[in-house]
Amino acid sequence: MSSRRHNSAGPGSSATEADGPEGVQRIAEGLAGENGSPGPKDRAVARIGSLRRRSAAQAKTAWTKMKHRAVTFSKFVGPGFMISVAYIDPGNYSTDITAGASYRFKLLFIVLLSNLFAILLQSLAIQLGTITGLDLASMCRVHLPRWLNWSLYAMAEIAIIATDIAEVIGTAIALNLLIPSLPLVAGCALSILDVMVILIFYRPDGAMKGLRLFEAFVCVLVIGVVVCFCIQLSMIKETSVGAIFRGYLPSDALIQPDGLYQACGILGATVMPHSLYLGSGIVQPRLREYDTAHGLMPEDPVSAALSTAEWYDKVTYIPSHAAIKHSLKYAIAELVLLLFTFALFVNSAILIVAGASLYGIPDALTADIFGIHDLLSKSISPSAGTIFALALLLSGVSAGIVCTIAGRMVSEGALRWKMKPWLRRLVTRSISITPSIIIAGAVGRSGLNAAMNGSQVVLSIVLPFVTLPLIYFTSRGRFMTVQPGTARYMHDTDDEGRPLITSVGEGVDMSNSWWLIATAGIVWLVMAVMNVANLVLMYLGKA
């Protein structure tokens, strides 16, 4: 009976019937359902609670993943800073300043294009070093004919010495601008002091903590350069932001002889040959760190029963597939982020400052770095000239340190020529200092500026020869196939110099895709044509 009354109660029931104790009980029983089972309201509340808990769990999971990725990414920060140093060295100052003074902001497009080229080539260098475990110089020694390896080694050493000459000159000029009483000859000699930094801090085969400390020191130098140019940009007045951004679009300046020559200079000063060797050789420590942490490292060859000193000299660490998958994406992401921010920003800032303050001034077209410093001091403020000199000093010191590390990789990889970093620095810097001191003492300011510009021409000539084997190696599956399993140590060559590190059996092919091969080929062709055009213009006297 009561059940029928409960079922018949509805919207038409009287308020008195609903408000009474029995009505309240009937409504409660209706919401609760029959026999105490959950009613519609209970199910809705439970469903909402479940959705809230699931959303909270998903948000917590997403946050945990983001936090984990951020922490992991932070462990890979460092090599990108060291690579970016090569793109803000003193050689970039003269080319970017001349371009800004001549065409204002129109050649910012070449700065952007050169940076894109650099990102592609440096990504290939990281890919090569990560997948094969060998740097570019070692790959040339193992897989190329001996005569070709020696030829590439000679070109690489010439490029490193040419780069180091620019660092010596840039450091000497910066010291002279900051301390006018210091002679240029003394400034060239003082540039060798960065040997002490390498001697104290750089331990590529040591603990990761020490290596990260060295990378942090280089990071501070790079950030110092960025801060200097941020201050200089803030001093610029009456400059249209739209005009600056229009400079990143192609313009008619590229079809003018002088504009093409300056574009070639920017490209040659931006994409540095030694940075490709560096990029392929500084990724291995983090691969070892991953394999060690996950128990994927093999027995150290030094402690193996058959190991000898000769074995240790010829053995090569081959990372595991898991380490490669884990490290490659973070290493390339860090590189792209830093080159698109720090390197692109500094090169753009140099050109923008020059274009905003020096464009239209007759003396600016023929001025060297000393003259540019004077013009900045007069056109903006004396502090602008001081900040410019400080940025040049930081660039020279950081680039000199990184150039030494790249030189060590080249000599050890191409020839198995073992040399301590500080000793390598002494040899390379002594070779670079000698002509710089002679030029500074005999000719003075004009001679140093000509020597710096000449060093950039040498780099532009060497660049296509260095990039071609990089593209070749990363495009062939026989070099870029990863074997499953743990990491391992292997001989890279036998007693007769034949390569032993080759892809055998089943594996994962991580070579370049067809579209990446085509893109890299186009980039190489553009660089080669621009460098040839640069030489032709110089021969015709239009440079």
In tens, the pLDDT along 61-80 reads 777 778 777 877 777 787 88
CA nearest to 247, candidates 117, 97, 351, 94: 351
Q: What is the pLDDT of residue 208?
A: 66
The sign of the dihedral angle between the CA atoms of 498, 316, 119, 89 is negative
pTM for this predicted structure: 0.81
**Which tokens sit at 104?**
């204002």
Closest to 175 measured CA to CA, from 390, 382, 398, 451: 390
d(CA 338, CA 346): 11
Residues 255 and 202 placed together within one structural domain of the fold: yes
* Confidence tier at 469 by pLDDT (50, 70, 90): very high
What DSSP string describes 456-508? HHHHHHHHHHHHHHHHHHHT-HHHHEEPSSS-EEEESB-TTS-B-----SS-E
Please tell me whether residues 336 and 472 are part of one structural domain: yes
Q: Do residue 289 and residue 436 come from a single domain?
A: yes
Q: Do the beta carbons of residue 71 and residue 346 sit within 8 Å?
A: no
pLDDT digits (tens, 9 = 90+) for 134-189: 999 999 998 999 999 999 999 998 888 888 888 888 888 899 899 988 888 888 87
Q: What is the pLDDT of residue 9?
A: 44
Residue 305 reports pLDDT greater than 50: no
Report, in angstroms and rounded to the nearest whole number, the Rg of the chain calculated over CA atoms: 31
Same domain? For 46 and 195 the reply is no
User: Predicted confidence band at 311 (pLDDT cuts at 50, 70, 90)?
Assistant: very low
Give the count of domains, the chain: 2
- Residues in Cβ contact with 266 at an 8 Å cutoff, skipping those fewer than 6 apart: 92, 95, 96, 99, 107, 110, 111, 114, 347
39 and 180 fall within a common domain: no
401 within a domain of the structure (yes/no): yes
User: Does residue 63 fall inside a structural domain?
Assistant: no
Return the CATH number at 383. Answer: 1.20.1740
Separation of CA 498 from chain center: 33
Q: Is pLDDT of 108 > 70?
A: yes
Confidence of residue 126 (pLDDT cuts 50, 70, 90): very high
Residue 494 lies in a domain: yes
pLDDT at 204: 61
> Do 29 and 137 sit in the same domain of this protein?
no
Average pLDDT over residues 6-26: 47
Q: Is the pLDDT of residue 507 over 70?
A: yes
Higher pLDDT, 342 or 48: 342
205/100 same-domain check: yes
- Give the pLDDT confidence score for residue 517 in this predicted structure: 95
**208 with 120, same domain?**
yes
191-195, 203-207, 242-246, 374-378 — which is least confidently predicted? 203-207
198 vs 361, more confident:
361
pLDDT band at 505 (very low <50, low <70, confident <90, very high): low
Q: Is the dihedral of CA 340, 345, 350, 353 positive or negative?
A: positive
Is there a domain that residue 257 lies in?
yes
Q: How far apart are CA 294 and CA 325, in angstroms?
A: 14
Is position 8 within any domain?
no
Q: Are residues 41 and 95 in the same domain?
A: no
Task: Determine which of 238-252, 273-287, 302-316, 434-448 has the lowest per-residue pLDDT on average.
Answer: 302-316
pLDDT at 38: 60
- Whether residues 278 and 137 share a domain: the answer is yes
Residue 268 belongs to what domain range? 82-499+507-539
**Does residue 392 have a pLDDT over 80?**
yes
Q: Is residue 128 part of a domain?
A: yes
Considering the domain architecture, whether residues 532 and 399 belong to the same structural domain is answered as yes
C-alpha dihedral sign at 285, 289, 295, 296: negative
pLDDT in tens, 226-280: 888 888 888 887 788 888 999 999 888 877 777 777 887 787 777 888 899 999 9
Are residues 354 and 422 both part of a single domain? yes
Residue 24: predicted pLDDT: 46
φ and ψ of 512, to 5 deg: -65, 145
Tokens of 239: 């400059």
Say if 303 falls within a structural domain: yes
Residue 65 counted as domain residue? no
